[in-house]
Structure 1
Amino acid sequence: MTALEHDFLPGALVRARGREWVVQSDSRRDWLRLRPLGGADDDSIALIPALELQAIAPATFPWPEPEQAGNHAAALLLRDALRLKLRAGGGPFRAFGNIAVEPRAYQLVPLLMALRLSTVRLLIADDVGVGKTIEAGLIARELLDRGEIQRLAVLCPPHLVEQWQDELESRFNLQAVALTAASAARIERDLPHGMGLFDHYPVAVVSLDYIKSERHRAHFLAIAPECVIVDEAHTCATGGQGRQLRFELLQRLSADANRHLILLTATPHSGDEAAFYNLLSLLDARFADLQGRTSASDPLRLELARHFVQRRRKDIVEWQADTGDGRGFPRRMKTEITYPLSGDWGLFFDAVQGYCRELAESHAQADTGGARLIWYATLALLRCVASSPAAAVKALTTRLDGTMAGDDLLSDERLYDGHADDLSGSDLEPPAQLQDAERLGSLIAEARRLSGQAGDPKLAALIVHLRALLQDGFAPVVFCRYIATAHYVAEHLRLAFPKVTIEAVTGEYAPEERRERVEALTEAEPRILVATDCLSEGINLQHLFTAVVHYDLAWNPTRHEQREGRVDRFGQQAPEVRCTMLYGQDNPVDGFVLNVILRKGEAIEKELGVLVPMPEDEARINQALVKAALMKRSEARSPQLGFDFGDAEAILAPLQAQWRDALDKAKANRTVFAQRRIRPDEVLPEWHKQQQALGTQDDVQRFVLSACARLGAPLETARNGQFRLLPQHLPEALRLRLADEGISKTLNLDFTELHRSHPLVTTLAEHLLETSLQGDSGLAARCAATLTDAVDVVTTLYLLRLRHQLSYVRRREPFQVMAEETVTLAVKGRSNPQWLRGDAASALLECTPSGNLAPAAVQREIATALDFLRAHPQQLEDLARERAAVLLADHERVREAARDVGQYSVSPCLPVDVMGIYVLLPDAL
């Protein structure tokens, strides 16, 4: 056992166990986390200095040796590997080195708001598709990388668990365990003895339905991490027993004043004042007192503005227009197409409606459960008939008996489209057969006969529209209400478009299989996806699709927005997204839903900029729909849905008044809570600066192409400007490391989406850096000398790695972390040297060689450059101190913009690491 002779701060180089290490940020005086010099973060170890057999000693980084010279391309490769491997970047945003997403400027606003708060309590209520997941992930990753938290939990509805798990891994490099009712027992059984869940799995995505039970809730509260993200937070506010249990869980989590809590919802205020202020009370119990207080200057409302951010797409588009940031959302182009209920299909519809009217009239005077059964059957049958012949057959052949209570009938999720705070629902067809199948036999036979493009005018209209979309280069998603309809549509589209890849995804598949079926379309082109609303939440489609067709009108405007938001959202690369509603021009059900529900929802959305959900009143909506459904088509005043709905619309008048009231309240709240204090353009330059320091997309592409070529596995050119990696041609050691990262088969690469933190990029960088430090200059060279016409006097480039100790205080607690950066120092001439720094020096490294020197001349030039640097050591120290001052200024500038509550200092770790020496000689020719 040895005595501790030194205090090793983060960033220091030490020698232990026969090799060199870098001290990491989470180290203490009596406990060190060490990363191998030039090695990967995954190879880090933890040790207790007092227990080591040999004392841990300071170390210095070895300089390059002339005998290890390589060519200039290998020199540039080393520089790129160094930059792309950096994780603990020196800029004010610690997370940027660990994320695989390029955030938009407006997405930095919640991050800046978080930096202003000692304990992060935020309600992020941005519009659908704006990127709330990105905003919350940035905050959590920043807190983790600053060392302010070690554990994270995301609470979300069950259908979003896999999406969150995937987003955390693919965008934020966080490996998360999924805790659901199906996985919990196995996960807990596999925990090492005596170890808690969050000790073994520091990041977890937890299903709200699993965690809300009393037994699981109590256990989670006992072990809950110091940071919790709650997605779809509005589903936890008020309502039935399940939602109340969720709210109690969040109340108890928020009771810990030191716990960071980030709430996400696109619908914070759906007209329910109590639910809205319940949400606010989770940020601070005092905010519940704001209900009924309308003064914009109320001190408590001003305090709430520090915790609540809500932006509409309109707000963001206007801001981008003002700042010249052209990376906005695509144009959402909406259109409508109709089809007539004519010919045999019209006669079939009339026959079904007549059957329903006959049933209704026979129970017209009855106020019993039987009457409700008739209402239900009428809506179920007419909705399925309007959907497709396949859904009609399913409804007509599935018996509806009297076992369902009246209340269950009114809320059966097979018939409706979910509530604003819970859009999950069944895509199974509702039963509608009330009498013997023999009486309905002719209707069933007729529905089957009319299946297909020739007999079904709705399908025929879809095919014409899809043909136009495909010709214009769009990739469409067709949303259907029922499973039978989705398979029916997909089957007939395959006949109509034999050269198009067509897939159907419905709720009959498990969530993972749905995801796999969607991803299987990645290489298919052209492609069409037919889906039910099981995909309108939980699986993002913007990377594969550019158009949405509502084959079946939803009876809830929020559902339409969710469908379109799967495609028109953050990350969509197309400049335009097409959205189409398809409906029967003389179908009374479509007419009522369109005119009385969807049109009014659209008008409210246009006025406010975001959708205000329709108030819940199932009985009233049900009654109005039945009235409309039983209206004869011959009663229409015009062929364009000019039905006189009369009593039906009057029934919904009180609901419309509530909806308008909700709009007024939402407008008032937007006035009070609009987040305008932080302008994202104030800190956008810091993001761009860090991006340049850590490596841009162009750097990633150049590096991967060059590295793979030098490793004997050049990328193959694929379609659409993409490339294909064949891992089997790589060296065995590298191939095994990539296999550990899940890269063992042919990999298609899109360099517009391949970020620096992708496992391929980081593994290549680590491999090249390690081989270079071991003296192998064939891949990435630590020294070189070359001829070039880019200089007119001998110029030496010194590639340096700077390490800084960043110290700051938050919540009265001191933190010390390490920051690294790669910089180039250049000197022109030797007798009268001119020193160059910054971009001018870096640009010289990317010069084009015009010739090579003899090996002896190369070694001689490198030896001279080494001697020159030894004679001017102050240049390295001055540069290190200058860079530390610049980094401190960057932190202070962001701190000022965010009104950050921390205090910062930056000091350089000396001596500077000399990673590479490259001599450029003027080409006299």
Structure 2
Amino acid sequence: MQRRRIDVEKWLGEDTPFPKREADEESYALSPEYQRIYADVLQLAQELAQRGSELHGGQQKFHYWTALALLRGVMSSPAAGAEMLRNRQRNLPNDDGELATEAEGPNPVLDQDYEFDGDFTPSQVISRAAINDSQRAKLSRLIGQLESLQNISTDHKAAQAIKLLYSWLKLGYQPVIFCRYIATATYLGGLLKQELTRVGSQAVRVEVVTSEDPDEVRRERIDQMADSPLRVLVATDCLSEGINLQHSFTAVLHYDLPWNPNRLEQREGRVDRFGQTAPTVKAYLLYGRDNDIDSVVLGVLLRKVREIRKDTGITVPFPEDSESVLDAVLAAVLLNPKAASRAALATQLTIDFGEAPEVTKQKALVRSAYDKAIDAEKLSRSLYAQHAIKAHEVAADLRQADEAIGDPAAVEAFVTEALPALLGVQITRNPSRPTDGGAHTYTLYTANLPKNLRGALPGAEATVPPTQLLVCFASPTPDGFHYLGRNHLFVEQLCQQLLASALHHRKDAPARAAVVRTSAVLVRTTLLLFRVRNVIEERSSRQQLVAEEMLIWGYKGDPTSGEAFNILTPEEAHILLLTAVPEADLPRPVAAQLLQDAADELPALVPSFNEVATTRAAKLVEAHERFRQVVQGGRYQVVTPVLPMDVLGQYVLLPPKT
């Protein structure tokens, strides 16, 4: 089943909170020093591309790839450009120690679809193209010139980014900056640590995370940043998948434009996703106004993605052949002599598609590819048909699931009532705040927690564990609070501990049984808590599994007296179990006799019990069949319920004395 934001925001009448994405662009102009270097690099790239077009086989591709790599590296940052050129001067071999002669696989300079393909500068690519002596001398000069640009006075791209980040931090945003290469991320991170030290009276924490760090180190460093009120994360695309950032960050800056439109959503989706508590997240593209490649990638590809998302509310993946489309667009730019002449004059460069017929042609192909992608998306949505799901049936199944395993309100009630009443642990409700989004938040005091429960909470491994913990039972969870859901280890351990205590036999008090007087009933009413096991078999493979659940059942009167007695509906029994309040004490001998009388009634009720189990099994089959028809899954049938059901609880409710 495809479940996208547009499907779940108002699903079944519930508001699922998602932030509003504020998408925009920020531009910069190259400094005169950088313009001269860009003109030289563009001229060199076009020479290589032109020469490659005259060659055959692998060398043709290597020359074209090298031209793209040079432009992309130099425009990413002076540090990335210098690193790439230094490696080219060394003529680095490939991994097996030899220079390859054949070009195989996709273009390594482009960004692959939905797959992290490395964040090192593509030095192995530019080592393949043949460079003459004059070009090698030009590379040597460019290395020194690029090294001299590594400051905010001459690197206007970095200066513009710092200016934007400062304004975001003042507004309370916590940014993530995505760079294409490790060299760029490291260089930018160093500049930020020098220039972006404080905002007002608060220090700014800057961290750089790249693929050079193992995955567990990346997670640890990101988690540690959450303690800093002002934080900036500089990262490569190693974080564009896998690690979610919505709990600590609220803005994305694309320092380097992705060369694959699908990467745009991957990056922004790390922050703009369910669990983000900020009402608005920012997502900005940083591009060079006088950079032909940026102009094409932005104008032809990325703006189209954002237009579609704005108009339709969904992100349409770029077609599978996006690589060949982008290759053609970039090749058209590289082979456009007007770009080189403009750069040589150090003028403001803007791609005029009317002046470049080949680029205009490729732009039309991009539009056509996107139109096909939109049509495919519409077809996909009809095939996976959210509207084909009968909402009222699904809602009923979901309500039963929540009743069986506990919804967030049930988890909240269980934890906040069980801790003080049964373990003597203090947990207090906090005053509501506008930033909590209506969620109930608590302060949990951990001093009296048993060791196994304390170990399931954060900070347990510290030399001096915290004595208080801010917790919340709703998601998204407000900033600074720890989420306790039904699958949290703390909740599971608490359930197991209380269940073990309830099942422990004590001579002085029968387990799981009670007799109370309450005004909730007018005649004697008995509630029973059953555990039922159903053996389920897959129809095609005949593979079996056992499903277990709890059922509440009840009746009014005495089934052994010969008088009429009434069986409660499941809803009536459930409400009585949760709401009946004891209003008077009973002498222990009287209570014990009443419990024994109720136990003696059980054999007469076995036929009714078995009917309950059989009816429930049939309903499970019906619910699964509804699900199977939507997802085309395997067909299951309940072979038989295991009879008799286990009676785990017996509760006798007596009306008040008259």
Q: Same fold (TM over 0.5)?
A: yes
Segments of 5+ residues of structure 2 without an aligned counterpart are: 94-98, 127-134, 475-482
Letter in 2 for 1:502: V
Tell me the CA shift for residue 553 of structure 1. Answer: 0.8
- CA shift in 2, pair 1:816/1:393, >3 Å: closer
Q: 2:119 aligns with which of 426, 431, 438?
A: 426
Superposed CA offset, 1:281-334 (max 9, x none): xxxxxxxxxxxxxxxxxxxxxxxxxxxxxxxx4xx7268668645437554332
Letter in 2 for 1:825: G
Q: 2:41 aligns with which of 353, 356, 365?
A: 356
- CA shift in 2, pair 1:486/1:865, >3 Å: same
1:458 aligns with 2:157: yes
1:674 aligns to what SS in structure 2?
helix
1:630 aligns with 2:340: yes
Q: 2:236 aligns with which of 503, 527, 532?
A: 532
1:379-528 residue pairs with structure 2 within 5 A?
379-395=68-84, 397-400=86-89, 413=108, 416-420=109-113, 422-428=115-121, 430=123, 434-435=136-137, 439-440=141-142, 443-444=145-146, 446-448=148-150, 451-452=151-152, 456-470=155-169, 473-494=172-193, 495-497=196-198, 498-528=202-232
Tell me the CA shift for residue 532 of structure 1. Answer: 0.5
- CA shift in 2, pair 1:523/1:680, >3 Å: farther
Give the TM-score taking structure 1 as reference length. 0.55
Superposed CA offset, 1:52-93 (max 9, x none): xxxxxxxxxxxxxxxxxxxxxxxxxxxxxxxxxxxxxxxxxx
The aligned residue for residue 821 of structure 1 is: 550
Q: 1:334 aligns with which of 12, 15, 23?
A: 23
1:653 aligns with 2:361: yes
- CA shift in 2, pair 1:889/1:735, >3 Å: closer
Give the Cα separation in 2 of the matches to 1:906 and 1:884.
8
2:554 aligns to what SS in structure 1?
strand
1:842 aligns with 2:574: yes
Q: Which has the higher contact order (CA 8 A, sep 6+)?
A: 1
1:917 aligns with 2:651: yes
1:579-590 residue pairs with structure 2 within 5 A?
579-590=283-294
Give the TM-score taking structure 2 as reference length. 0.74
Q: 1:860 aligns with which of 590, 600, 603?
A: 590
The aligned residue for residue 316 of structure 2 is: 610
Give the Cα separation in 2 of the matches to 1:322 and 1:761.
27
1:770 aligns to what SS in structure 2?
helix
CA contact (8 A) 2:79 2:187 kept: yes
Tell me the CA shift for residue 691 of structure 1. Answer: 1.4
The aligned residue for residue 802 of structure 1 is: 531
Q: 1:691 aligns with which of 389, 402, 412?
A: 402
Give the Cα separation in 1 of the matches to 2:537 and 2:48.
75
The aligned residue for residue 176 of structure 1 is: none
2:546 aligns to what SS in structure 1?
strand
Give the Cα separation in 2 of the matches to 1:398 and 1:464.
32
CA contact (8 A) 1:697 1:755 kept: yes
CA contact (8 A) 1:564 1:579 kept: yes
Q: RMSD of the alignment, in Å?
A: 4.8
Superposed CA offset, 1:734-761 (max 9, x none): 469x679997666875423533233322
Superposed CA offset, 1:557-596 (max 9, x none): 1221221233334555655443211212333332122123
Range 687-696 or range 755-764, more displaced: 755-764
CA contact (8 A) 2:206 2:233 kept: yes
Q: 1:347 aligns with which of 12, 32, 48?
A: 32
Q: 1:704 aligns with which of 390, 415, 425?
A: 415
Give the Cα separation in 2 of the matches to 1:915 and 1:364.
80
Give the Cα separation in 2 of the matches to 1:778 and 1:380.
81
- CA shift in 2, pair 1:776/1:387, >3 Å: farther
Tell me the CA shift for residue 653 of structure 1. Answer: 2.9
1:514 aligns to what SS in structure 2?
helix
Tell me the CA shift for residue 793 of structure 1. Answer: 4.9
Letter in 1 for 2:552: V
Tell me the CA shift for residue 634 of structure 1. Answer: 8.8
Percent identity of equivalent pairs: 29
Segments of 5+ residues of structure 1 without an aligned counterpart are: 1-108, 110-125, 131-312
The aligned residue for residue 674 of structure 1 is: 383
1:762 aligns with 2:496: no
1:512 aligns to what SS in structure 2?
helix
CA contact (8 A) 1:476 1:545 kept: yes
CA contact (8 A) 2:157 2:288 kept: yes
